[in-house]
Chains A and B, each alone.
Chain A
Amino acid sequence: MHGPDERYAVRGDEVAAKSFDGEVVVVHLGTCTYYSASGSGADAWTWIEEGRKLGDVAAAIAERYDIDADRARRDLTPFVARLLEEGLIAPANGDGPLVSSSPSASPSPSIAADTDYSPPELHAYRDMADLLALDPPLPELDRPAWRVAGDDEQG
């Protein structure tokens, strides 16, 4: 579905992303949706954003997490499909930024010590407009949450 030579570009008109302590946060400004990826997902996003070919991204993930290259490719495919589906990236037109194809040339964006592998995942939070509009309510103060939960240790 997504060939190893394909490159993608972040839809910069609508999408902005930053890395916070190893977590990549992507915001679709048009829909006010908040996406979060960490571990291999944060790595994949960063390398895709750099303009790497998908094959190189998969190879970099395989090397970084010491996993089989086929598995990295298989896991990357649905992640990229999801990024496309959410409108966060689009196929690059071929004249985007080119980087070295060496997987180890670019430092990994995720926390160096955390090399336990799990497939790249994108978490979406679509409640941000509500979160920004309202300060979320307190737990019911007449019936505090810990009493509702049957926890009697409160003072």
Chain B
Amino acid sequence: MTSRDSTLRTQGTPEFELLLESAKPPIDGDAADPFGLTGDVDWALLLDLAVEHGMVPLVRRWLEGTGWRGVPDAVRTWLDGRHEENRRRNRLLTIELLALLDRLKAAGIEAIPFKGPVAASVCYGDLEARPFGDIDLLVAPADVRGAMEVMARSGYAPLIPLSETQRAAFLRHRTEYPLQRPARGGIVDLHWELFHRQFCFPLAPDRSRMREVEIAGQLVRTMGNEDQLLMLCAHATKHLWVRLEWIASVAWLVARHAEIDWELAEARAGSLGGLRMLGLGLALAHDLLGSRPPRAPALAESTDPVIAKLVIEVVGRLEDRSAPPEDWLRFYLRARERRRDRAAILIRTAVIPTIGDWRMLDLPQPLTGLHYALRPIRLLGRGVRHLRSGGGDE
């Protein structure tokens, strides 16, 4: 793993440097000179970047910590306004989450919340440190229908209108279902697996390592720190690490939880084919934000050249907003160390029906398996249209 300031050099724009300082977990004696950082800042660009990277709360907190030195009043006012909105949004979603957990528990269903309020509490110890916009709940596959019934009784309705047949097939073949109240409160993503199957990372919480986290005075059961870390790294990989806040979450989780069992994290990642994703997350946290290197032997001594290349590419895209977006499939393939996972990603991408596939054709129950056969044909048709139109994204 590279040392903090030996090999990785950012382009050093004042805005990106300030973003990085804001994202760093506090380390004694390592405070940057606030005036040096805020002196030449293009504030409009900084705010734009802060929003894009989910960093508004951390930027505001960092600037507040500097005594708002050199910060224009209007920037401070704007950040305060966003802080207030973020606080309200996060608190509302937290209350909605806790109410839902109570109802599911009363129905005998264990739901494990992840991301959202849980990630904010576990990583930062502060519900307001990161923005979140929905609620993610994981239930056992056998509990999905029961959970949906509880949610329906609580006023939630599916966001994706599907026929009964489509829904049955959807539940069989997909891994999450979004629901929302008619009053448009938080969207609840009800998961029965953490990641969609095309991603080929079947992480399931290790029941023996579950932990409790206090949220708004209520103890909530969630996955252990090692699984949190794997989940954060895999989730960010799924989204190509385009947000600095995801790197900050990893850095803060590592900084605040010295009790992380690194050998276990490494073993879990290795058994699931996620060692490179974990290594990438830790390398980004280390190289960009000064996170301490892990004490697990394989990760600490990692010489995986692909990780180093991916770090440079991710950082390049983080810094350069005009850089062309990475092809997600290519990134997924490079972020996995096992050949069999790469092959599975390719095959599943080609055959597993998407929501668009389900909705395009409402097949009767006995024929829903045909969606798998139709998926490659749809992909082929899409490719032909793409070529005829001379390129462009679809």
Contacts and interface: CB of A to CB of B under 8 A. Distances in A.
Given A27-B95, A128-B88, A153 B185 contact: no
A137 to B, nearest CB: 9
A96 B201 CA distance: 49
A155 B43 contact: yes
B185 A132 contact: yes
Contacts of B82: 136
Interface stretch (A37-45, A54-62, A100-108, A139-147): A139-147
A34 B155 CA distance: 17
B85 A136 contact: yes
Given A16-B99, A151-B72, A29 B181 contact: yes
B72 A154 contact: yes
Interface stretch (B44-52, B164-172, B238-246, B378-386): B44-52
B85 A153 contact: no
Given A131-B88, A132-B133, A146-B74, A25 B95 contact: yes
B225 interface: no
A32 interface: yes
Interface in B18-47: 39-45, 47
Given A139-B47, A146-B73, A19 B217 contact: yes
A149 interface: yes
Contacts of A138: 44, 47-48, 51
A85 B184 CA distance: 22
Contacts, number: 113
A32 B78 contact: no
A125 interface: yes
Interface residues of A, number: 33
Contacts of B78: 139, 145
B92 interface: yes
A18 B216 contact: yes
Contacts of A30: 155, 181, 183
A125 B84 CA distance: 12
A55 B181 CA distance: 37
Contacts of A125: 88
A20 to B, nearest CB: 6
Contacts of B281: none
Interface string B133-146: 10000000000000
A18 B95 contact: yes
B216 A19 contact: yes
Residue in A31, A132, A153 whose Cβ sees the most chain B Cβ within 10 Å: A132
27 contacts: A18-B217, A19-B216, A20-B91, A25-B91, A25-B92, A27-B92, A27-B96, A27-B185, A29-B96, A29-B183, A29-B185, A30-B155, A32-B92, A32-B184, A36-B88, A128-B185, A129-B184, A132-B184, A135-B51, A136-B82, A138-B47, A138-B51, A146-B43, A146-B72, A146-B75, A149-B74, A154-B72
